[in-house]
Structure 1
Amino acid sequence: MNDRKIELLAPAGSFDGMKSAIHAGADAVYIGGLLFGARAYANNLDTEGMKRAIDYAHIHGRKLYLTVNTLLKNNELNNKLFDYLNIYYEHGLDAVIVQDIGVFQFIKANFPKLAIHASTQMTICGVEGARMLKDMGASRVVTARELSLHEIKEIHNQVDIEIESFVHGALCYCYSGQCLLSSFIGGRSGNRGRCAQPCRLPYKVMKDNKQINSTNETYVLSPKDMCTVDLIPDMVEAGIDSFKIEGRMKKPEYAAGVVRIYRKYIDHYLINGRKGYQVLNSDKKELEDIFNRCGFNQGYYKEHNARNMITLKEPVKRARNEVLNKELEEYQVLEPKEKINGSLTLSTGRPARLVVKYGNVEAEAWGNTVENANKQPMDKERIYKQITKTGSTPFEFEEVDIQMDDNIFIPVQSINELRRNALEVLQNKILKQYRREDAFLRKTDYINRNIELKGKPVITSFNVYIEKESYLTEVLKFREVQTVYIDVNMLEKPIDYYINLCHQAGKKCFLSLPHIFRNTKKISSFNYQDLINEKLDGFLIKNYEEFDYLKSLYDKKELVLDYNVYTFNQMSHSFWMDNHISYDTAPVELNYKELLERGVKESELIVYGYLPVMVSAQCVHKTIEGCDKNSTKLFLKDRMNKQFFVRNHCKYCYNVIYNCQPLVLLDYEKEICSIKPKSLRLNFTIEDTKDISAIIRKYIDSFIYHKSVKNDFEDFTRGHFRRGIE
Structure 2
Amino acid sequence: MNRVVELLAPVGSQEALIAAVESGADAVYLGGKAFGARAYAPNFGGEELAAAVKYAHLRGVLVYVTVNTLVDNSELAELAAYVRHLYHIGVDAVIVQDLGVARIIQEVAPGLPLHASTQMTVHNLEGVRFLAANGFTRVVLARELSLAEIQAICRQSSLEIEVFVHGALCVCYSGQCLMSSMIGGRSGNRGRCAQPCRLPYTLIDQQGQNVLQQADAGEYLLSPKDLNTLDVLPELIQAGVGSFKIEGRMKRPEYVAVVVDTYRRAVDRLTAGEQEYIVDEADQKDLAQIFNRDFTTAYLYGKQGRKMMSDRRPNNRGVRIGRVIQYNPGRKTAVIKLDETLNQGDMIEFWVKVGGRVTAHVSQMSADGCPVQGASPGMAVEVAVTAPVKVNDRVFKTFDAKLMTRARSFFSGAQTVHPLPVTATVEVAPGKPLSILLQDKDGFSGRAETGFIAEKALKRPLTREAIAKQIERLGTTIFVLQELGCHIEGEVMVPLSEINDARRRAVEELERARLQRFERPPLPETSRVFLPAANQRKKKDDGGRTELVVNVDHRDKVKAALENGADIIMFGGESFNHKPFLAEDYQAVLAMVRKHDKKIRFSTPRIVKEGQKSGLLADLALFNQLQPDAVSVGNLGTLQMVKEHCSLPLHGDYPLNIYNAVTVEFFRHQGLSSLTASPELNLAQVEQLLIPYHAVLECLVHGYLTLMISEYCAIGSFLGGLHTGRCTTPCLKGPYWLKDRKEEVFPVVTDQYCRMHILNAKELSMLAHLPRLMQMGVERVRIEGKKSTPQQVAKVTRLYKEVLEQGEEHPLFRQDKLDTVEPGNITRGHYFRGVL
TM-score range for the pair, normalised by the shorter chain length: over 0.9
Q: How far off is 1:350 after superposition?
A: 1.6
**Deviation at residue 22 of structure 1 after TM alignment:** 1.1
Q: Which residue of 1 aligns with 2:739?
A: 637
Q: Which residue of 1 aligns with 2:330?
A: none
1:243 CA drift (Å) = 0.5
Residues 581-631 of structure 1 show CA distances to partners (whole Å, capped at 9, x for unaligned) of: 111101111111111123266211111111100010101111121123464
Please say if residues 488 and 511 of structure 1, whose CA atoms lie closer than 8 Å, have aligned partners that are also in contact. Answer: no
Give the aligned partner of residue 281 of structure 2: 281
Does residue 484 in structure 1 map to residue 564 in structure 2? no
- Deviation at 1:24? 0.9
Structure 1 contact 91–436 (Cα < 8 Å) conserved: no
Segment drifting more, 87-96 vs 181-190: 87-96
Q: Separation in 1 of the partners of 2:507 and 2:240?
A: 40
The reply to whether residue 360 of structure 1 matches residue 462 of structure 2 is no
Cα deviation digits, residues 517-570 of structure 1 (max 9, x gap): 11344524855532322333321111111110011356x412111111012111
2:445 counterpart letter in structure 1? E
Among candidates 693, 712, 717, match of residue 618 of structure 1: 712
Deviations 1:326-384 (A, max 9, x none): 11011112413112222211111222211222333322212122121121222111111
Q: Check if 1:421 corresponds to 2:487.
A: no
1:281-339 Cα deviation digits (max 9, x unpaired): 1111111101101x101121111342100111134743211110111011112413112
Distance 2:501 2:83 in 1: 37
Structure-2 separation of matches of 1:338 and 1:28 = 17
**1: CA distance, partners of 2:157 / 2:532:** 32
Question: 1:53-132 to 2 correspondence within 5 Å?
Answer: 53-77=52-76, 79-132=77-130
The one-letter code sitting in structure 2 at the alignment partner of 1:530 is L
Match of 2:144 among 135, 143, 146: 146
Identify the match of residue 321 of structure 1 among 397, 400, 409: 400
Residue 679 of structure 2 is matched in structure 1 by 588
Once the 2 structures are TM-superposed, how far is the Cα of residue 484 of structure 1 from its aligned partner?
3.4
Uncovered stretches (5+) of structure 1, i.e. residues with no partner: none
- Of residues 489, 512, 528 in structure 2, which corresponds to 1:443? 528
Q: Is residue 2:765 matched to residue 1:681?
A: no
List aligned pairs for 1:200-349, cutoff 5 A. 200-209=198-207, 210-214=209-213, 217-273=218-274, 275-293=275-293, 295-315=294-314, 317-318=317-318, 319-334=398-413, 335=416, 336-349=418-431
Q: Following TM superposition, by how much is the alpha carbon of 1:576 offset from its aligned partner in structure 2, in angstroms?
A: 0.6
Q: Distance in 2 between matches of 1:124 and 1:524?
A: 16
Deviates more, 1:527-536 or 1:195-204: 527-536
| TM-score, normalization by structure 1 | 0.96
Contact 1:605 1:679 in 2 (8 A): yes
- Work out whether residues 627 and 648 of structure 2, in 8 Å CA contact, stay in contact via their aligned partners in 1: no
Among 627, 645, 658, the alignment partner of 1:535 is 627
296-305 vs 30-39, greater mean Cα deviation: 296-305
Equivalent residue letter for 1:653:
C
Aligned equivalents of 2:659 and 2:101: distance in 1? 10
**Alpha-carbon deviations, 1:124-181, whole Å to 9, x = none?**
0101000110111111000000011111111112221100000000000000000000
Contact 1:542-1:562 within 8 A present in 2 as well: yes
Whether the 8 Å contact between 1:559 and 1:583 is mirrored in structure 2 is: yes
Cα distance in 1, alignment partners of residues 272 and 648 from structure 2: 53
Q: Cα distance, 1:442 vs. partner?
A: 2.1
Shift in CA distance, 460/12, structure 1 to aligned 2, threshold 3 Å: closer
Quick one: which amino acid aligns to residue 420 of structure 1?
R
Q: Mark the CA change 1:303 to 1:140 in structure 2 (over 3 Å): closer, same or farther.
A: same
* Identical-residue share of aligned pairs (%): 34
Q: Which amino acid aligns with 1:255?
A: V
Classify 1:524/1:198 alpha carbon distance in 2 versus 1 (closer, same or farther; 3 Å): closer
Instruction: Output the amino acid matched with 1:352.
Output: L
Q: Does the alignment pair 1:388 with 2:488?
A: no
Change (3 A) 1:480 1:258: closer
Match of 1:430 among 514, 522, 540: 514
SS at match of 1:288: helix
CA contact (8 A) 2:550 2:797 kept: no
Could you give the per-residue CA deviations for residues 9-34 of structure 1, whole angstroms, max 9, x where no partner exists?
Answer: 01011111011111111111100111
Structure 2 SS opposite 1:514: coil
Partner Cα separation in structure 1 for residue 530 and residue 87 of structure 2: 23
Measure, in 2, the Cα distance between the counterparts of 1:612 and 1:450: 34
Task: Find the residue that maps to 2:507 and give its secondary structure.
Answer: helix
- Matched to 1:621, the amino acid is I
- How far did residue 445 of structure 1 move? 5.5
Pick closer, same or farther for the CA change 1:296–1:53 going to 2, 3 Å: same
**Aligned equivalents of 1:218, 1:571: Cα separation in 2:** 42
Corresponding residue SS for 1:618: coil
For 1:276 and 1:437, locate their aligned partners in 2 and report how far apart those are by CA, in whole Å.
Answer: 46
Question: Bigger shift: 142-151 or 472-481?
Answer: 472-481
Separation in 2, partners of 1:447, 1:366: 57
What's the offset of the Cα at 1:213? Answer: 1.8
TM-score by length of 2: 0.83
Q: CA shift at 1:456, angstroms? A: 3.4
TM-superposed CA distance for 1:634, in Å, is: 1.2
Task: Give the C-alpha shift of residue 663 in structure 1.
Answer: 1.1
- Give the structure with higher Rg (CA): 2
1:523 has 2:615 as partner:
yes
SS of equivalent residue, structure 1 residue 713: coil
Segment of structure 1 superposing worse, 672-681 or 35-44: 672-681
Contact 1:615 1:657 (8 Å CA) reproduced: yes
Q: Which is worse superposed, 487-496 or 48-57? A: 487-496
